[in-house]
Amino acid sequence: MAKDIGIDLGTANVLVHIKGKGIVINEPAVVAIDTNTREVLAVGEEAYLMVGRTPGNIKAIRPLKGGVIADFDITEAMLAYFIDKINVKSFLSKPNIIICTPTNVTAIEQKAIIEVAEKAGGKNVYLEEEPKVAAIGAGMDIFQPSGNMVIDIGGGTTDVAVLSMGGIVTSMSIKKAGDSLDYDIKEYVKRKHGLLIGDRTAENIKIEIGEVFDKERKESIDIRGRDMVSGLPKTVTMTSNETLEATRESMQEIISAAKDVLEKTPPELSADIIDHGVITTGGGAMLHGIDQLLVQELKVPVFKAESPLDSVALGTGILLENINKLQRN
C-alpha cells in the first residue's frame, strides 16, 4: 500500500508528512543546477549549503518565489526528489497527496502544482489553502461555527485568514514575509555600514538578534562581508535595535494586511476572535517581539502556535486522517 503524504510546499522550506509516521522531511526549498546542461546536482539541505558559494556554472535556486512556482521544471525535479526519497510509491499503488498553497494562487498555478505532483508519482492530488491547514495544525477547531484567525508568516508570503465552519471567511495573502525581512536587513547593512552581505548572513542576523518590537533588546552580532569601498573582507557589529529599524516597513505591511482582514470580518466572528485570540504560525511567528507588536496593533490576544514551523505539515497530517471527506468534496 502506498502511504498518503502531505506536503507543505513553502518558499523557504519543504516539509513532508507521511500518514501514520509524522513529518519525515524538513529541508530548504533549494535546488542546485548546472546552468550549462540544466542538470539537477543537489536538492534541499545539500543545495542550501551551496547558496552564494558556487562556481559560475553551478547555480543554487529557489524554484518557488512568493509562494508561487517560478520555475516549473525545477519544482517538478524537487518534488520528485523528495517523493522518491521517502519511497512511498509501490508497483501497484500511488499515494494520495495533499499540497498546501497560499490563498491567492491562480487557477493556472493550481493546475501547474497538481501536474507536478502527478508527474512525481501522486494518485489523487488535493490542494488546500495554507492558512486553513496551518490553523488545523496549530490545534484550532476550525470546523465549529465560530471565528478563528490565523496569521501564517512564511518565507515568501504572509497569509492572514479568518476561518469558520471549516472554510475561509475572509483572507489576504501578501508577498511580505521572512524573505522580505532578510532583504531589508541586507539593504540596511549595505546602506548603514557600507557592507555587502549574502542572503544566508541576513537570515542568520534575523534569527540570532532580530527584533520587531522591543527597543530594549540589547543583543548584537559580528557580521562579515565585503566592504563596498575597498572591496576587501570586513567585519562590523550589528544590534537588535538596527534590525527593528531595518524591518519596520515590511512589518507595517504585515500588520496592515491583518487589520484589513479584521475589518472585513463579520461582527459575530470578530467577537469570537476577541475571545479566542489570534494564532501565529510559520517561521515569522518565531520573530522576537512579534506577539507584543500584534497585540498592540490589533487590540486582540495573540498566541504563538506550539510548533510554528511545522503547523502546516502537521495540519496536512490531520487532513490525511480524514482523506475520505476530501474525496467526497
In a domain, 108, yes or no: yes
Do 197 and 54 fall within a single domain?
no
In a domain, 187, yes or no: yes
Do 29 and 173 fall within a single domain?
no
- The answer to whether 158 is a known ligand-binding residue is no
d(CA 236, CA 224): 7
In a domain, 164, yes or no: yes
In a domain, 54, yes or no: yes
- The answer to whether 13 is a known ligand-binding residue is yes
What beta strand segments (E) does 154-216 contain?
158-164, 167-174, 195-196
Exposure of 317 by Cβ count < 10 A (0-12 exposed, 13-18 middle, 19+ buried)? buried
Half-sphere exposure of 278 (CA within 13 A, CB side): 31
CATH code where residue 15 lies: 3.30.420.40
Do 298 and 320 fall within a single domain?
no
Do 178 and 315 fall within a single domain?
no
In a domain, 89, yes or no: yes
In a domain, 137, yes or no: no
Do 284 and 316 fall within a single domain?
no
Q: Give the residue numbers spanning the domain of 70.
A: 5-132+311-328
Do 43 and 24 fall within a single domain?
yes
In a domain, 191, yes or no: yes
- The answer to whether 203 is a known ligand-binding residue is yes
Do 299 and 322 fall within a single domain?
no
Q: What pLDDT is stored for residue 183 in this prediction?
A: 96
For the entire predicted model, the pTM comes to 0.89
Do 164 and 109 fall within a single domain?
no
Using CA atoms, how far residue 130 sits from 88, 166, 254, in Å, is 23, 13, 16
Do 22 and 110 fall within a single domain?
yes
- The answer to whether 194 is a known ligand-binding residue is no
SS3 327: helix
The CB density around residue 128, as the number of other CB atoms within 10 Å, is 18
| Number of domains present in the structure of the chain | 2
Do 166 and 297 fall within a single domain?
yes
Do 251 and 315 fall within a single domain?
no
- The answer to whether 87 is a known ligand-binding residue is no
- The answer to whether 19 is a known ligand-binding residue is no
- The answer to whether 138 is a known ligand-binding residue is no
d(CA 266, CA 324): 31
d(CA 261, CA 257): 6
- The answer to whether 157 is a known ligand-binding residue is yes
Full pLDDT tens readout for the chain, 329 residues: 567 899 998 888 999 999 888 999 999 999 999 988 989 999 999 998 887 777 888 888 888 887 778 888 888 889 888 888 887 655 567 888 999 987 777 888 888 888 888 887 788 899 998 899 999 999 998 888 889 999 999 998 999 999 999 889 999 999 999 999 999 999 999 999 999 999 889 999 999 999 999 888 889 999 999 999 999 999 999 999 999 999 999 999 999 999 999 999 999 999 999 998 999 999 999 999 999 999 999 999 999 999 999 999 999 989 888 776 655 55
- The answer to whether 148 is a known ligand-binding residue is no
Do 256 and 159 fall within a single domain?
yes
Q: What pLDDT is stored for residue 324 in this prediction?
A: 66
Q: What pLDDT is stored for residue 314 in this prediction?
A: 93
In a domain, 294, yes or no: yes
- The answer to whether 206 is a known ligand-binding residue is yes
d(CA 266, CA 167): 14
Using CA atoms, how far residue 1 sits from 15, 17, 21, 70, 96, in Å, is 22, 16, 14, 33, 11
Q: What pLDDT is stored for residue 327 in this prediction?
A: 58
